[in-house]
Amino acid sequence: MPMFRFTTCLLWLTYIISASVTAATLTVDVTDAQGNMLSDSVVELISTAPLEATSTTEITLPATAHYEMRQQDRVFYPFVLAVPEGANVDFPNLDRTRHHVYSFSEAKQFELKLYVGTTADPINFDKAGLVAIGCNIHDYMQAFIYVAKSPYFSVSDASGKIQLTDVPPGEYQVKIWHPWQIVAPASSSIILNDGANQLALSVDIEHQNKPSSPPSGFGASDHASHMMGQHAK
Amino acid sequence: MQLTTALFVLSATQRDFRQQQTQNLKIGSNVFVEMLSNRNKQLNQSLSLLSADFGFKRAVATGEQDTISSVLANHGRRINADAAILLSPQGTLLSSSLQGLTKANIDELFALTKNRSTTFEIFNYDHSSYQFVLQPVKAPTLIAWVGMGFAMDKNVADQAKTITGIDISFINQSADRVEIVSTLPTAQQQDVLAQMDQLDQTIDVVSDDVPLGYLSTTIALDNNSDNQLAVLHQSNIKWQQNYDALRNNMLLVFAITCLLAFMIAAWFAGGLTKPIYGLVNFARKVGQGENPPPIKGAPAELQVLANTLSIMRENIESRKNDLVYQSQHDNLTGLYNRVAAKQLLSQLLSKMHGNLVMIDIKNFRHLNNIIGFANADDLLVLFASRLESLSPTAQLISRLDGDSFLLLFQPGIDDQQLDNYLRLLTQPFAIQGSKITVNVRVGMVDLSRGYDSNDIDTLIRHAEIALNQARMESLSIATYQQGEDERYLRELMIIRDLPIALSQGQLHLVFQPKVDIQTNHCHGAETLIRWLHPELGFIPPDEFIRLAENSGNISIISEWVLNTTIKQLAKWQQQGISLTVAINLSAHDLTNPQLPLDIEQLLISNNLPITALSIEVTEGAVMKDAQTVIAVLQQFRNIGISIAIDDFGTGHSSLAYLKLLPVNEVKIDRSFIKDIHTDATDLMIVDTSIRLIKGLNLSVVAEGVESAEGIDILRKLNCDIIQGYVYSKPLKADDFIVWFQQFNQSNVPF
């Protein structure tokens, strides 16, 4: 669900941008090494040699765009959240239990100690990078926030599709990331032309189960210990 | 037996002990391994709690060395770890409480993250062994591996010993150094260290004496090398003590049993084997003919045996005595027998004096026939007992055989005494209600006559000769005279030598002419035997012929005479001389029905006329088997052989025989002829005889004519033939034939 909203936002942004400048759209199909549709992949386009200078219209990613990583049903939603650099992310706790959200990632280290409801301030992610989010009292709860450098990024949906609109045509470095990737995929480059562009990417991942809330109560701790071997970049 | 049993039991027990120990050790080592696994689990759990600690995670996440090392130390202390490390997810070392970890060490530790099985890993660092566990640090993803190491120290060893009950040593060996942590006392630890190189061979195997007095097995703590070992030592002491106690007890039992057995055997030996030996010796002595003293006082069964042996010996003894008695005594009378008599005589006659008296019952055979054998035996018994009862008592009374008894009188017995003795002896005997009178003959030897005490045979022989003398001369008593033995021996010699003499040519024939005085012609001769014995010289034919007849040898003489005569006749025949030779045949010859034919055959085969031979017989010859003799003579007559009867007038019933016998010729005995020219009686007898004989149509021969007058007288009396010295003495063949031819030539028959 959240993905749709993101996509909608992106599409909206793309529309705005494309009103003033020539724009390309990129449709990316993400699969895993076996050819299955892969969701939760982040694709980022980093401009290398823009064909046309950007207009004065600054691409301002609305810092006021609302990003949230909520805790609901004792898991993080979304599993992978892509935000631009400098974005603020809210961490609303929609559960009845408190969560102690934390991250020790280099990109952002923070703690939201045992709270319920919404915190006062959102967390600002000012550094590009990867932030692994965990909950101190629920070991299994995991999520990732991809802080992108470039404005052109998105997360693949359930069918592994990404739509990037209003992208100025030109040459871009394509970076792809998946939380379960075995090794960091090599970045490729693409020249985006005006109009629709297609791209197919593949990431070799180590299949895991997405965090899901265990039956509440005591004696289910074995599930948590199986969620291991996740590499952080 | 005992020893074998003991040995078996001991070795079985020892095996059993060892098995128990080995089993114990194996169980102990299994328990120890289990203990380490459990420890692993516990440590993992402790560490996982620790690694989930938020504060710990946060400290690790800072990446600050000091923070990290202090939090490692802190949290390490919480779970009593001796070492703590932090590895990156890629396996690089982030922090370590152990200084100087090599890449190999790190890789080894990182490898522990890969297979987190429930078994343990023992990490070797700086000559120490650590049980290491690693746990992930997830915040929320893996940000590091935290590892904690727990040294295999004395506490662990003690804990292990408490659980297993077995001593344990942890050994960490490197090229230059061996470290040992052990629950054993120091001395034993040294011992173990001394046998380090053996330990590598003992992994999972039970070995002795590492250290001494312990049964050990080794577990490799390190899969990659033999540098880290846990050695379990099962003390032998308890088992050893048990075994020793058992062994000592068994030895004691064995010793006691042996001793008992020995004592019993000794007692038995005293009570059993000694008597047995005694018995054996006794039996052996009896077998050797000795008379050993009987055995007394043996145990029951043996005593029975001993008694039986004694009885047996007595029986043997008595049987021996019986045999001896029987060998020495006459069965019937109980007197000494001949053998014993001889033996006793040689003993008794050490002093040569006294008389040897041989008594013979007259006509005993005749008596036997009359009264019967049984009564005769009874008579002998009574006779014998009377001999024993009469006085003077003989030194020796013996029965030699049949009815002859030998007695020794020492001192000697004189004639009067002997007469008395014999008178008493010949008193009638009461046999079956009848009174039987016996008569005896006695032959005596006077022992003072220089006899040799060693030559008993001579003594007895002389007694026999004397007895024989008495018999022959019908005396009651005859004493041996000097020379009789010689005569006896001479006669023996003649009898013995006769056959040899015949074959050696000691005998030869002589011929005495029979002259027909009516024609003054000699027609033949009577052949006589002459024997010239090498030792005895000339033996009179009367003697040796008589002896030959008595000893049954006459037939060989007759045969020889016959053959020799025939041969001589054959020779003369070839010389053209024919005559008739008369041979004397014995009574024995005349009982041979084959003889006439044999003689005929002999004559024929020698081409001699029947008339060449004639035979002369004595009337005594007929006395035995008259019928056969007459038949034989008749046979001779049938063949054509002339028969003359010899010694006419001297026999018992000459006239009767004349009637009976088929004779041709009668020879008047020389006793009548010899003095015919002087004695009128003889003349008368001869005259009558000649008439008688001539009346029976028989020819007459007068033997023993010695004078010429005799010839004339006899011629006148009508005698046919004369044989006598007047013509010639008997001559050897060659000499005879010379006379024969001369006489016949010179005396032309008229």
Lowest mean pLDDT among B143-157, B203-217, B348-362, B573-587: B203-217
| Pairwise CB contact (< 8 Å): A232 & B142 | yes
* DSSP type of residue B432: T
Tell me the pLDDT tens digit for each residue of A128-162.
Answer: 999 999 998 888 899 999 999 998 999 999 999 99
Return the number of other C-beta atoms located less than 10 Å from residue B614's C-beta: 21
Which is it for the CA torsion B407, B410, B414, B420, positive or negative? negative
Q: Which residues pair with A175 in a beta bridge?
A: A44
On average, the pLDDT of chain B sits at 85
Q: Say whether pLDDT at B696 is over 60.
A: yes
Rounded Cα distance between B134 and B45, Å, is 10
Q: Say whether pLDDT at A174 is over 70.
A: yes
Query: What pLDDT, on the 0 to 100 scale, is given for residue A14?
Result: 60
Q: Give residue B363's region: left, alpha or beta (phi > 0; psi -120 to 50).
A: left
What is the pLDDT averaged over residues B494-521? 89
Tell me the pLDDT tens digit for each residue of B26-65.
Answer: 888 888 888 888 888 888 888 888 888 888 888 888 788 8
**What are A220's two structure tokens?**
């289910």
Q: Say whether pLDDT at B581 is over 90.
A: yes
Query: What pLDDT, on the 0 to 100 scale, is given for residue A230?
Result: 45
As to burial, measured by CB atoms within 10 angstroms (0-12 exposed, 13-18 middle, 19+ buried), residue B661 is buried
Return the number of other C-beta atoms located less than 10 Å from residue B708's C-beta: 11
Lowest mean pLDDT among B291-305, B356-370, B685-699, B707-721: B291-305
Higher pLDDT residue, B176 or B702?
A: B702
| Pairwise CB contact (< 8 Å): A232 & B58 | no
Residues 87-146 of A with CB under 8 A from B: 100, 102, 104, 109, 132-136, 139, 141-142
Rounded Cα distance between A197 and B667, Å, is 203
* DSSP type of residue B123: E
Tell me the pTM. Answer: 0.47
Return the number of other C-beta atoms located less than 10 Å from residue B166's C-beta: 23
Residue B668: CB partners within 8 Å, gap ≥ 6? B648, B649, B686, B689, B690, B700, B701, B702, B703, B719
What is the pLDDT averaged over residues B182-194? 83
Question: Any chain A CB within 8 A of the CB of B54?
Answer: yes
Angle between helices B415-425 and B373-389 (to 10 degrees): 140
Cis peptide before B609 (omega within 30 of 0): no
Identify the closest residue of chain A to B137 by CA–CA distance: A228
Q: Say whether pLDDT at A17 is over 70.
A: no
Identify the closest residue of chain A to B61 by CA–CA distance: A104
* Amino acid in the structure at residue B714: L
Enumerate the CATH 3.20.20.450 domain ranges in chain B, comma separated. Answer: 491-742
CA R_g for chain B: 71
Confidence label for B102 from pLDDT (cuts 50, 70 and 90): confident
**Domain covering B1-151: architecture:** 2-Layer Sandwich (3.30)
Edge-first strand listing for the sheet containing A80-84: A80-84, A142-148, A129-135, A99-104, A109-115
Enumerate the CATH 3.30.450.20 domain ranges in chain B, comma separated. Answer: 1-151
Cis peptide before A214 (omega within 30 of 0): no
**Residues above pLDDT 90, as percent of chain B:** 13
Question: Any chain A CB within 8 A of the CB of B140?
Answer: yes
B353 φ, ψ to 5°? -150, 165
Question: Residue ranges of the alpha helices (H) in B123-179?
Answer: 154-164
Name every chain A residue with its beta carbon within 8 A of the beta carbon of B142: 228-232
Domain B338-482 is classified in which CATH homologous superfamily? Answer: Reverse transcriptase/Diguanylate cyclase domain (3.30.70.270)
Query: What pLDDT, on the 0 to 100 scale, is given for residue B480?
Result: 84
Best-predicted range by mean pLDDT among A42-46, B152-156, B315-319?
A: A42-46
Q: Which domains does chain A carry?
A: 2-54+63-215 (2.60.40.420)
What is the CB-side half-sphere exposure of residue A133 using CA atoms within 13 A? 30
Rounded Cα distance between A40 and A6, Å, is 13
Best-predicted range by mean pLDDT among B110-119, B177-186, B460-469, B602-611?
A: B602-611
Higher pLDDT residue, B266 or A224?
A: B266
Question: Any chain B CB within 8 A of the CB of A171?
Answer: no
Nearest one of B305, B728, B331 to B515, comparing CA atoms: B728
* DSSP type of residue B630: H
Q: Say whether pLDDT at B142 is over 70.
A: yes
Q: Say whether pLDDT at B358 is over 70.
A: yes
Q: Say whether pLDDT at A231 is over 90.
A: no
Q: Which of B52, B61, B89 sits opposite A104 (nearest CB)?
A: B61
| Pairwise CB contact (< 8 Å): A142 & B52 | no
CA R_g for chain A: 18
Rounded Cα distance between A142 and A179, Å, is 10
Q: Say whether pLDDT at A120 is over 50.
A: yes
**What are B504's two structure tokens?**
């050696």
Query: What pLDDT, on the 0 to 100 scale, is given for residue B598?
Result: 92
By DSSP bridging, strand B404-409 and strand A80-84 are unpaired
Residue B616: CB partners within 8 Å, gap ≥ 6? B526, B582, B583, B584, B585, B643, B644, B645, B646, B667
Lowest mean pLDDT among A105-114, B230-239, B525-534, B583-592: B230-239
Q: Are B130 and B118 in contact (CB under 8 A)?
A: no
Nearest one of A22, A24, A21, A27 to A7, comparing CA atoms: A27
ipTM (interface pTM): 0.72
Query: What pLDDT, on the 0 to 100 scale, is given for residue A22?
Result: 72
Rounded Cα distance between B407 and B445, Å, is 11
Give, for A211, the enclosing helix (H) or strand (E).
Answer: none
Q: Say whether pLDDT at B628 is over 60.
A: yes
Rounded Cα distance between B686 and B434, Å, is 53
Q: Say whether pLDDT at B513 is over 90.
A: yes
Question: Any chain B CB within 8 A of the CB of A231?
Answer: yes
Query: What pLDDT, on the 0 to 100 scale, is given for residue B474?
Result: 79
Let me know how long chain A is. Answer: 233
Q: Residue written as tokens 């690693």?
A: B134
A127 φ, ψ to 5°? -115, 135
Tell me the pLDDT tens digit for each residue of B162-179.
Answer: 988 888 888 888 778 888
Q: How many angstroms away from the CA of A162 is the closest CA of chain B?
A: 26
CATH 3.20.20.450 fits B491-742, yes or no: yes
Q: Say whether pLDDT at B155 is over 50.
A: yes
Enumerate the CATH 3.30.70.270 domain ranges in chain B, comma separated. Answer: 338-482
Edge-first strand listing for the sheet containing B93-96: B93-96, B83-87, B142-151, B128-138, B122-125
